[in-house]
Structure 1
C-alpha cells in the first residue's frame, strides 16, 4: 500500500458526465466502491474489472481500478494503468492529477510536472493541481516558482475554501519534515477561519487542530501541542476521533487516547469499527482482558477481518508465543508475500520455548527469501571504492523517541561519532516525535523524513545521497523497511541493535554482534556475515542521571527478593517453571514482576495461576505495572537479584538492572537472543552468574542468594565496576563501532562481498 494521502484525491472522481449503465455494471461498480471504502483493495479491484469487462467506457470504474493499483503498491502496474486510463479518457482531470502524484512519489519529477500541467489546462478553475505543482516545486528547491503556484491555487480556491489550500500546504510541508514552514501555512489557514468561522464544522475544525498539534509536537512545543489536541477533542465524527486517538497514542498520551476512543464508542455505540479501535488501543497498551471483551462486542456487530491478528498479538503479549506464531503464520500464508505478518511471525519465533535455534534460523530464511527476488545488483553501484575515505552512512529507523531501546543505545553513539570519518544521514520512518527525536536531529549531518515514502522513493533518495553503508535499526519490529533492504538500496547493508538475531533477509550483508551472542561456530544461524564488536554488542551509557541506590546492611537482612522488569511476552512457560524452581530452592524468597501488562488484573491473575500451578503461593509474588523511566529505575532498590528470562533474554532491562546495582542470573542459550544476558554478564566480569543449563541456573541463583554479605558488597560497588569495564566505555565503544563500519567497507572495496544467492528450491 502506498501512502497517497486521501486529501490529495479530488472530490469528483472523474470528468465525464453521468451516463446510463446496465444494472450488472452498476452493481459491480457499487460493490467495488464498498470494498474500496473499507480498504479491501484486491476485491475492489476485481469488482471494478468486472464492471469494465461489461462496459469498457465506464470512466469512474477505470479511475477507481487504477486507484486500487496505487493503494496495493503495484507502482509499475499503476503507471501503466494511468497511461491506459488517460489514453482512453484524455479529459479526466483526476487521472492526470493522480498520475502526477504517483510520478512525484516515484521521483519522476518531469512527468509529474507534465501531468499537473495537463490537469490545470483541463480545469484552470480548480486549485488541486496548482497546489500539487507548488508542492513539487518546493520539494525541488524552487521556492519562488512554488510561491507563484501557491498564490494561483489560493486564487482558484476563492475566499470560501482557501483555508483548505493553506491547510493542505501545511500537511505537505509537514510530510516533507519542514515543520517550521508547515506552521506558517497552518497559521494562515487558521487566520482565514477566524474571518469566516461559518465555513467549517466542528469536525473539520478538530482535524485542523490535530494537524496544528502534530506540528507543535514536531517542533518540541509540547504544551502547545497538548492544548491543540485538547481542542480537537470537541470533534464528534468517528473518523475524527479515531485519528485523534492515534495521534495521542503516537505521542505517548495513552490514557488520553483511550478516553477519546471510549467517547467514540459512547457516541457511536452501534459501530463495529468504534469498538474495534478501542479494542486495538487496549491491546496496544497491554489491557488484554478488556481488549478481548471489546473485540467480542465488535464481532457481535460485524465480522472483523483483523480479529485473528489481534488475538495473535494478545497471545504473544500474555506469554503464549507458540499460539501467536501459529496465528501469524496462518495470516502470512493467507495474505501472501507482501504481508507484514511474516515479520510478526518471525518476532514470535524468538520467544518460543518449542523451537530450536536452528529452527528459528530456518524459519527466518524461508519466510523472507522472496524479498531478494529481482534485487538490484551489487555491481550497479558506482560509489568510490577507496577503502579509507570518509564514509557516508545511512540509518533507517522509526524509533528515536523516549524510552525506546534503539534511542537509548544510539543517542550516545551519535554524539561521539567522528564526523570527519563518518557522515550520518537519518532516514526517519516513524510517527512518534519528542525531545529525543529533536536531539537525534541535531546529532546527524542530514535528517530525511521518510515515513510516507514507499521503497522506491526511499531507495532513490539513498542513492542520491551517495550512501555507502545503510544500517537497519529495526529488523522485524514495527515500521520496519525489510523489503527495502531485500531489494538492496546501498552497496553495503547491515542490521544492528533493533533485532536480536539474524533477519533472514537477502542482501543484508552484515549483522553487528559480539563473540558471546554470536560465538565462532554459530555462523550457520545467520544469513548475514558477522561483524563482531570486541567487548559487548550493546553499550549502556545513559544520558539521564539515575542516582545510584544506597545499599546498606538492611538490604542484606530483609527477605530476599528476586525480580524481573521484562515484558510479559518473555515470561514463557519455560521461564515460569525455571523461576518457580529458584523460589523453591530459596525458602522465604519472593519474586517481584514488573511489566506494562501488570496494570491489567487479568494478566496478574493469569500469571499468579501459572506460578501456583508450579507450586508457588500467591503471597510470594508481587506484581507492578508501568511508571515513568526514572521511577522505574528507582524501583530496583526493591530487588536483590534479577532473573533473566529464556529463551528471549532481557536486553535493556538487564543492563538497567546492572546499572542500578542489581546482578542478574542468566542462562547462555544457543542463539543471539538467548545469549544477550551471557554477553552482558561476561563483559561485566561476572561470568559466575552465567548458567549453562536450567539446573545450573537454579544452583547459581540459590548460591548467590545464600551469601547475603557478598551480595551486598557486589551491589554497593557494581556501578563502579561497570564503569571500569571496557564494555561500558562509550567513547571506546564508538571507536569500535566505527571500526566495524570500516571493516564492512573494506570488504566491499576488496570484492569479498557478493549479491545474495538465490533461494534454493525445495525438493
Structure 2
C-alpha cells in the first residue's frame, strides 16, 4: 500500500478532524463523506475506517457497514472495537451466529476486556445455548473484577437488562440480586442501590410477585438522583401505579427545582394521568427554563384529551410535515382525524393515504419472499403487538382467539413489541407456539426475524395506536400482510394488503375508503367473549322506576361538539333524565369543569350530570348497572365500551355513519338483532332515544335478558369467530 506524502498526510489529518466534528454533531452523512475523503488521501488511516463504519451503522446502511468493519479489520486484525461493534451490528441484523463469532475474536484480541464476553453471553442466551452463555457471563465477571472492583455490579446490571429485554424475568432476577449483593461491598451509592431496587421491582412485577415489587419500589423512592427517580416513575406508571408515579416526580422536582427536565417529566406524566390543567401549567414552567422540543406534541395530546380533535389534528399535521418529523407524528394526526366532526369519510381516507404514502418507498417486493408450498404444511401466522396486558382492548379481544386458533392449520409466532407485561402477557405467551421478544428490535431486525421464521401472513394489531410498527409493514416484512382490531379503519399504509371488517363497518361499495382489500367476517368484526366472569346486574322493578340514566363510558376525545349537542337535545326531550359520563379524564377536576361548562352552555342543568373517573376493570363493569341506555358518540363510536355495556345489560343507541369508525355501533347492534337501536341521522337518533326512554317496561325486559340473548348469537361465540378468521387468513395466503 502506498504511503501518503507529508502534504497528503497533513490534509488527511485535517479532513479526519473535520469528520470527527461532524460526527460529534451527529451529522452522519457529512461525517461519512469526510472520513472517506480522509481515507482516499491516506488509505491506512485505521481510525477513519472505523469511524466510517460507525457512520454507516447510524445511517442504517447495514451491509455497507459490515464491509466497512471488514476494511478496518484488514488494516488491523487486532482492532478490538471493530470486532466488538461488528458483533453488535450482526446482532442488530439478527445474525446471532456471526455476532458470537465476532465477539469471540474480540475476546481473543483483548481477553482482559469484559464487554465482548458479556455481549456474547447475551447472544448465546438468545440462541438458547444457556451453558455457553453462563460461561461467557462468568468470563465477563472475571475480567471486570480484575479491572475494577465496582465493575462486576455493572456486568450483572447489563445482563439483567438483556434478560428483561427477552422476557426472561426469572434469570434477570438472579442477575439483579447478584448486583444488589455486589453493591453492598463495592461502595455503591444510595442512588445506585435504588436503581437496582427499581429493576428488581420490575422483574418481580413480571413474575407476579406484586407485594415484593411494591416494597422495592417504595425503598427506591428514597433516592435523590433525578435520573433514578425518573426511571422509578416510568416503571411505576407502566404498572398502573399512577399516583405513586406522580408522587415520585413531584418529589424529584422538589429536590431539583432548577431542572427544566424535571418540570417536563412531571408535565408529561400529568398529561398521561389526565391532569390536564396541571400539565399545561407545568409545561409552561419548563419552557420558561429551556426550549422544549416536544412541547407542540404535548399540547396536541392535551387538546385531544380535552375533546378538541381539530386543534390536535392541526398540531400533529404541523409536526408530521416538519423535515425532522418523528415517525409517530403522522400516526397521531391520522388518529386525530377519526375524532373530527369536520372531516367526512372521504377526507379522512385521503388524509391517511397522503400521510403514509412516503413510508412505502423502497419497500421489498412481494415476489422476493421464498416460501415452501402450502401443500402438506401449516400456514405460518405472525402477529405483531405490544398490547397483550391487562385491560387493553387488544388483549381482551385476542386472548380467546389465541386460545381457539387451530394448531393443526396454523403455526403461530407472536412478536411482542411492548414494554408492559403482566399475567395476561404470560397467558398470551402460553397460547402461541413461538413467542418473540421484540420490544428492543428495530424494524430491520424485526423484519429479519420475521423472514427467518418464514412467515406467510403477518397480522398487525395496532394500526396507528401506541407502540405501532407501521413502517415495518410499509416496507413489507412478509408476503401477505393484514391489519385488524387495534385501529378502527383503513390504515392508509402501503403494502398492508388486507383489512378485516364485516358487512356493516366495511359494506360493499366502501372500497374507495380503504387502501387495503377488505375481508369481511360474519356477524360483527370484533367478538366480545370475556374470559373473566363479570356478575350480571340483577335488574328488577326498581330499575324501571328510578330516574332514567343515559350514560357513556367513552374516552373524552370522543365527546365531540356534535355529540354533546345531540346528548343535550336528548336530555331536554326526556324530562327528569340524567347523564352519567365516566372516563379517565374525569379523575381530573379541570376536565369535569370543562365538560360541565360545555353542556351547561347547551342548556343542560349541571344537577343532571354525573362524572366518574377511572377505576379497575371489574369495578367499571359493575358500574354499568347504574346506566339504563348507553349513548354512542360520533363520529368515533364506542368499541370495547359498547360491547362491555351490552354484556352488562345496557343497550346502546347508535347512529350509523359513513366509515368504519362511525359504523361500529351499528355493527354490534345489528349483530345483536337490535336494528331498532340504530339511527340513520341526527333527528332519528334523538327521536329514538326519546322513544326508548318512554317505554320503561320494554327497556327493563331487554336489559334483564340481554346477556343471555348475546351468548346465543354467533357474533359472541369466540370459537365460531376464530374459525371465520382462520378461513379469511387461508384465503389471503392462498390467493397471494
Shift of 1:167: 2.4
1:185 aligns with 2:185: no
Shift in alpha-carbon separation, 1:81–1:287, aligned structure 2, 3 A: farther
Mapping 1:469-618, distance limit 5 Å: 469-618=457-606
1:229 aligns with 2:217: yes
1:463 aligns with 2:451: yes
Counterpart position of 2:6: none
Shift in alpha-carbon separation, 1:303–1:577, aligned structure 2, 3 A: same
Shift of 1:436: 0.8
- Distance, in Å, in 1 between the alignment partners of 2:32 and 2:367 is 42
- Distance, in Å, in 1 between the alignment partners of 2:36 and 2:597 is 59
Counterpart position of 2:165: 175
Shift of 1:245: 1.0
Counterpart position of 2:5: none
Shift of 1:88: 7.7
Shift of 1:345: 0.7
Counterpart position of 1:9: none
Conserved in 1, the CA contact under 8 Å of 2:715 and 2:721? yes
Counterpart position of 1:753: none
Counterpart position of 1:100: 87
Shift in alpha-carbon separation, 1:613–1:732, aligned structure 2, 3 A: same
- Distance, in Å, in 1 between the alignment partners of 2:179 and 2:662 is 54
Counterpart position of 1:361: 349
- Distance, in Å, in 1 between the alignment partners of 2:306 and 2:211 is 35
Shift in alpha-carbon separation, 1:614–1:392, aligned structure 2, 3 A: same
| Partner secondary structure for residue 462 of structure 2 | coil
Shift in alpha-carbon separation, 1:268–1:62, aligned structure 2, 3 A: farther
Aligned match for 1:298, one of 255, 270, 286: 286
- Distance, in Å, in 1 between the alignment partners of 2:83 and 2:716 is 58
Counterpart position of 1:376: 364
- Distance, in Å, in 2 between the alignment partners of 1:61 and 1:705 is 78
Conserved in 2, the CA contact under 8 Å of 1:29 and 1:48? no
Unaligned runs of 5+ residues in structure 1 are 1-18, 36-40, 749-763
| Partner secondary structure for residue 735 of structure 2 | helix
Shift in alpha-carbon separation, 1:106–1:153, aligned structure 2, 3 A: same
Aligned match for 1:422, one of 410, 414, 417: 410
Greater CA deviation, 444-453 or 178-187? 178-187
Aligned match for 2:125, one of 126, 138, 141: 138
Aligned length: 720
| Partner secondary structure for residue 440 of structure 2 | coil
Counterpart position of 1:15: none
Counterpart position of 1:396: 384
TM-score, normalised with respect to structure 1 = 0.89
Shift in alpha-carbon separation, 1:70–1:701, aligned structure 2, 3 A: farther
Conserved in 2, the CA contact under 8 Å of 1:278 and 1:294? yes
Mapping 1:1-12, distance limit 5 Å: none
- Distance, in Å, in 1 between the alignment partners of 2:89 and 2:353 is 33
Counterpart position of 1:153: 140
Counterpart position of 1:757: none
Shift of 1:182: 2.3
| Partner secondary structure for residue 223 of structure 2 | coil
Conserved in 1, the CA contact under 8 Å of 2:32 and 2:55? no
Q: Deviations over 1:587-634 (max 9, x none)?
A: 221111111001111111111111122121222211111111111111
Greater CA deviation, 304-313 or 456-465? 456-465
| Partner secondary structure for residue 537 of structure 1 | coil
- Distance, in Å, in 2 between the alignment partners of 1:211 and 1:67 is 31
Shift in alpha-carbon separation, 1:241–1:91, aligned structure 2, 3 A: farther
Shift in alpha-carbon separation, 1:557–1:207, aligned structure 2, 3 A: same
Greater CA deviation, 245-254 or 564-573? 245-254
Mapping 1:701-716, distance limit 5 Å: 701-716=689-704
| Partner secondary structure for residue 278 of structure 1 | helix
| Partner secondary structure for residue 182 of structure 1 | helix
| Partner secondary structure for residue 158 of structure 1 | helix
| Partner secondary structure for residue 701 of structure 2 | helix
- Distance, in Å, in 1 between the alignment partners of 2:129 and 2:303 is 52
- Distance, in Å, in 1 between the alignment partners of 2:605 and 2:140 is 71
- Distance, in Å, in 1 between the alignment partners of 2:60 and 2:555 is 35
Conserved in 2, the CA contact under 8 Å of 1:337 and 1:370? no
Counterpart position of 1:166: 156
TM-score, normalised with respect to structure 2 = 0.92
Greater CA deviation, 161-170 or 544-553? 161-170
Greater CA deviation, 251-260 or 508-517? 251-260
Counterpart position of 1:620: 608
Aligned match for 1:648, one of 617, 631, 636: 636
Aligned match for 1:742, one of 720, 730, 736: 730
Shift in alpha-carbon separation, 1:578–1:244, aligned structure 2, 3 A: same
Conserved in 1, the CA contact under 8 Å of 2:353 and 2:492? yes
Conserved in 1, the CA contact under 8 Å of 2:183 and 2:193? no
Mapping 1:715-754, distance limit 5 Å: 715-748=703-736
Conserved in 1, the CA contact under 8 Å of 2:550 and 2:629? yes
Counterpart position of 1:676: 664
- Distance, in Å, in 1 between the alignment partners of 2:620 and 2:232 is 29
Q: Deviations over 1:313-354 (max 9, x none)?
A: 011111111111111111111145762101111111111111
Unaligned runs of 5+ residues in structure 2 are 1-9
Aligned match for 1:261, one of 249, 253, 257: 249
